[in-house]
Chains A and B, each alone.
Chain A
Amino acid sequence: MAGKTLYDKLWDSHRVEDRSDGTSLLYIDRHLLHEVTSPQAFEGMKLAGRKIWRPGANLATPDHNVPTLTDERKNGIAGIIDPFSRLQVEILNINCREQGIVEFGMEDKRQGIVHVVGPEQGLTQPGMTIVCGDSHTSTHGALGALAQGIGTSEVEHVLATQCLIQKKMKNMLVQVDGQLEPGVSAKDLILYVIGKIGTAGGTGHTLEFAGAAIRRLSVAGRMTVCNMAIEAGACAGLVAVDDTTIDYLRGRPFAPQGEIWAKAEEYWRTLTSDSDAVFDTVVTIDAADIQPQVSWGTSPEMVVGITGRVPTLQGAKSAMAKDSLVLALKYMGLQEDQPVTEIKLDRIFIGSCTNSRIEDLRAAAAVVHGKKVATSIKQALVVPGSGLVREQAEQEGLDKIFTDAGFEWRQPGCSMCLAMNSDKLGKGEHCASTSNRNFEGRQGFGGRTHLVSPAMAAAAAIAGHFVDIRRWS
């Protein structure tokens, strides 16, 4: 018999029951909540007169709607100007209080983007099943946990039963051999993978990232990669446990301690795919082929290397692909065959659950140090992923580097990644963004998003347009 993949192991250890219809009842170890996708679930529970199965397995933090301006944060929830946002943040707070769920509220320095907070606190651990009403829950797979995004009905299902009814996915391996060039980051790696396999390439699969280039990444880098597994169509991304994982977890507030740690570690180290495991789909990539990436279009698969150009209609593989290309070019206001370095930028956004950890801010700060944001840039934002990331950055003096250069230094939250608060693009504006989705209107009505790494966004802020970070000083 063939060995097991990491996904097989995680799946098997959480099956409560296999059902005759081909689904399984899967136990969920950790449930993360935020203000946007949970109110209807809490309400549903109340209407049905149901109780939370295990309040202590849940953790909540508001992130999508929260203001990032320090002034607007001073008075807590009551100070949120947008009444709709305020209500959502307030309802989360009330629900958590009533149900005995731990919440890192707006005044708590542990508050932040739920996918940054979970790993940072050691709430995310190898071998867990983790869900959240948010598609970027895939992020947590970087630590060898089976983590996936769910809809609100399933949020309610998990609150009520601590389980989900699921059918097993197929196994897919993305093997990235070799070494990334200096200046090429985890973000470039995952954008490149999505460009290769497409936004539906991983549909129906759980995606494991392996190979020397993945092993060399820090946990932060692995999180960036797994974060965007969903942009490749997969609900969950995974990286096997190794020393990097274990070192990351040690000493985190919610990580096990003492004797239990030893027992946990022993188990965690078994969380790798067996050498004879069989994957349904395998994609092999040479890290040396990866340049810094820039997305030019309205889907994360519409990316090119920094030395590349916007594609031509002639090169489209099908009529459908050509239609998509026409729509994307029109929306983005770009010409066929235009070099991506010529795209003029209006705003810069460094943040989001993809790239707002301390490592990301360090990478960006190293680029802007001693320089100034180009006068043509209307706004350059740095939004740390959590209050603790913000604090750490301030201890290292990164905030100074950013503000001296002309960046705005904000409070933690999702911010301009989806523009549910007041941080948004204006119509027609181009933004170099370290987020994960370049969909139409994502960062603001009519706004144009270009997905890049933190270092690339930082360099673009200084130059006013995209530059090849490998040859830039």
Chain B
Amino acid sequence: MIPFTIHTGLVAPMDRANVNTDLIIPKQFLKSVKRTGFGPNLFDQLRYLDEGQPGMETALRPINPDFVLNKEKYRGASILLARENFGCGSSREHAPWALLDYGFRVLLAPSFADIFYNNCFKNGILPVVFAEDDIDAMFVQAKSSRRLQLTVDLEKQQISLPRGENLAFEIDLFRKECLLQGLDDIGLTLDRADLIRGYEERGRQNFPWLFGDLA
């Protein structure tokens, strides 16, 4: 996983509550067996006016000029500003894969759905929760005539707003460490192989029916 330390980028405001993962990446693109290449179809239903299918040449499709990411002002955005319950619905990790592939490294919202939130960390994306008021203020700035650039510092757990103001945020220690170092948590767990075997040993005694093999 790519580590995340400090990131400076342009903010794109997606002013819509309860954005679900079906909307982030529609199911027809889930037929891919890869982790990459989903960027062109991020928010497919909102971004284009026609129905997208895998393998279509996106450059030839009619785009929806009203959609935020299609506006010149937000070209190259790497920080997505969102509303409550972002990422609800399906557990598809294709959603963070698509966001990452498009170029997003940071998501800011008043709340995220649990599975999606967790999936982001596995892919080097930092989802940050801020209070509703702070998010509202950022929306005002991001939508104003100026482009809103932010710096997000994971080590210090703060973001720096343009006027020199800093906002602190909370994050779990474990998630922070994994992200900072780009750690592979499977490797970490395999370091505990003895503990896992010990657990299984005890389990076989106490709950034998749980340890039969299906194969």
B192 and A25 contact, CB distance less than 8 A: yes
A153 and B122 contact, CB distance less than 8 A: yes
Q: Which of A159-167, A282-290, A456-464 lies at the binding interface? A: A159-167
**Does residue B160 face the partner (Cβ distance < 8 Å to A)?**
no
Complex: how many Å from CA A125 to CA B209?
10
Apart from A40-B35, A162-B200, A260-B208, 7 more pairs, CB < 8 Å: A55-B213, A56-B215, A150-B118, A154-B118, A154-B122, A160-B189, A163-B189
Contacts of B33 in A (CB 8 A): 39-40, 43, 87-88, 91
Q: What would be 7 A-B contacts, judged by CB atoms less than 8 Å apart?
A: A27-B200, A50-B186, A123-B214, A133-B93, A163-B189, A200-B84, A264-B207
**Does residue B72 face the partner (Cβ distance < 8 Å to A)?**
no
The A-contacting residues of B in range 100-118, CB under 8 angstroms, are: 111, 113-115, 118
**Does residue B73 face the partner (Cβ distance < 8 Å to A)?**
no
Q: How many A-B residue pairs have CB under 8 A?
A: 201
Question: What 0/1 pattern do residues 6 to 23 of B give for CB contact below 8 A with A?
Answer: 000000000111101011
Contact A157 to B27, CB < 8 A, known contacts A16-B192, A57-B214, A203-B85: no
Question: What 0/1 pattern do residues 104 to 145 of A give for CB contact below 8 A with B?
Answer: 000000000000000000010101100001110000000000
Q: Out of B93, B111, B184, which one reaches A203, CB within 8 Å?
A: B111
Nearest CB on B from A101, distance (A): 7
Contact A200 to B88, CB < 8 A, known contacts A40-B33, A101-B215, A161-B190: yes
Complex: how many Å from CA A100 to CA B214?
10
A437 and B89 contact, CB distance less than 8 A: yes
Interface size class of A (residues with CB under 8 A): 35 or more
Contact A22 to B174, CB < 8 A, known contacts A43-B33, A161-B189, A165-B185: yes
A21 and B113 contact, CB distance less than 8 A: no
Q: Out of B30, B85, B193, B195, which one reaches A200, CB within 8 Å?
A: B85
Contacts of A1 in B (CB 8 A): none
Question: What 0/1 pattern do residues 19 to 39 of A give for CB contact below 8 A with B?
Answer: 101110101010000001101
Contacts of A234 in B (CB 8 A): 114
**Does residue B173 face the partner (Cβ distance < 8 Å to A)?**
yes
**Does residue B78 face the partner (Cβ distance < 8 Å to A)?**
no
Nearest CB on A from B40, distance (A): 16
| Identity of the chain B residue whose Cβ is nearest the Cβ of A137 in the assembled complex | B91
A152 and B214 contact, CB distance less than 8 A: no
**Does residue A306 face the partner (Cβ distance < 8 Å to B)?**
no
Q: Out of B22, B54, B85, B195, which one reaches A17, CB within 8 Å?
A: B195
Contacts of B30 in A (CB 8 A): 36, 64, 420
Complex: how many Å from CA A448 to CA B72?
32
Contacts of B210 in A (CB 8 A): 29, 125, 127-128
| Identity of the chain B residue whose Cβ is nearest the Cβ of A23 in the assembled complex | B174
**Does residue A204 face the partner (Cβ distance < 8 Å to B)?**
yes
Contact A233 to B119, CB < 8 A, known contacts A16-B192, A200-B88: no
- Residues of B at the A interface (CB closer than 8 Å) are 15-18, 20, 22-23, 26-28, 30-35, 45, 51, 54, 83-85, 88-93, 96, 111, 113-115, 118-119, 122-123, 172-174, 177, 184-186, 188-190, 192-193, 195-196, 199-200, 203, 207-210, 212-215
Complex: how many Å from CA A261 to CA B212?
13
**Does residue A441 face the partner (Cβ distance < 8 Å to B)?**
yes
Nearest CB on A from B209, distance (A): 4
Contacts of A427 in B (CB 8 A): 51
B123 and A439 contact, CB distance less than 8 A: no
A157 and B209 contact, CB distance less than 8 A: no
A16 and B196 contact, CB distance less than 8 A: yes
**Does residue A84 face the partner (Cβ distance < 8 Å to B)?**
yes
| Identity of the chain B residue whose Cβ is nearest the Cβ of A123 in the assembled complex | B214
Q: Out of B16, B199, B215, which one reaches A327, CB within 8 Å?
A: B16
Contacts of A50 in B (CB 8 A): 186, 190
Nearest CB on B from A143, distance (A): 14
B196 and A27 contact, CB distance less than 8 A: yes
**Does residue A217 face the partner (Cβ distance < 8 Å to B)?**
no
Complex: how many Å from CA A418 to CA B22?
9
Complex: how many Å from CA A91 to CA B93?
18
**Does residue A149 face the partner (Cβ distance < 8 Å to B)?**
yes
Contact A156 to B28, CB < 8 A, known contacts A27-B199, A165-B174: no
Contacts of A165 in B (CB 8 A): 174, 185, 188-189
A59 and B214 contact, CB distance less than 8 A: yes
| Identity of the chain A residue whose Cβ is nearest the Cβ of B35 in the assembled complex | A40
A56 and B214 contact, CB distance less than 8 A: yes
A151 and B118 contact, CB distance less than 8 A: yes
Q: Out of B51, B190, B213, B215, which one reaches A445, CB within 8 Å?
A: B51
Contacts of A48 in B (CB 8 A): 184, 186
Complex: how many Å from CA A200 to CA B83?
12
Complex: how many Å from CA A291 to CA B84?
29
Q: Out of A16, A163, A204, A320, which one reaches B17, CB within 8 Å?
A: A320
Complex: how many Å from CA A414 to CA B27?
12
A203 and B114 contact, CB distance less than 8 A: yes
Complex: how many Å from CA A123 to CA B185?
28
B196 and A441 contact, CB distance less than 8 A: no
Complex: how many Å from CA A21 to CA B26?
35
**Does residue A352 face the partner (Cβ distance < 8 Å to B)?**
no
**Does residue A440 face the partner (Cβ distance < 8 Å to B)?**
yes
Contacts of B45 in A (CB 8 A): 440-441, 445
B196 and A161 contact, CB distance less than 8 A: yes
Complex: how many Å from CA A58 to CA B215?
9
Complex: how many Å from CA A131 to CA B185?
17
Contacts of A68 in B (CB 8 A): none
Contacts of A127 in B (CB 8 A): 207, 210
| Identity of the chain A residue whose Cβ is nearest the Cβ of B206 in the assembled complex | A267
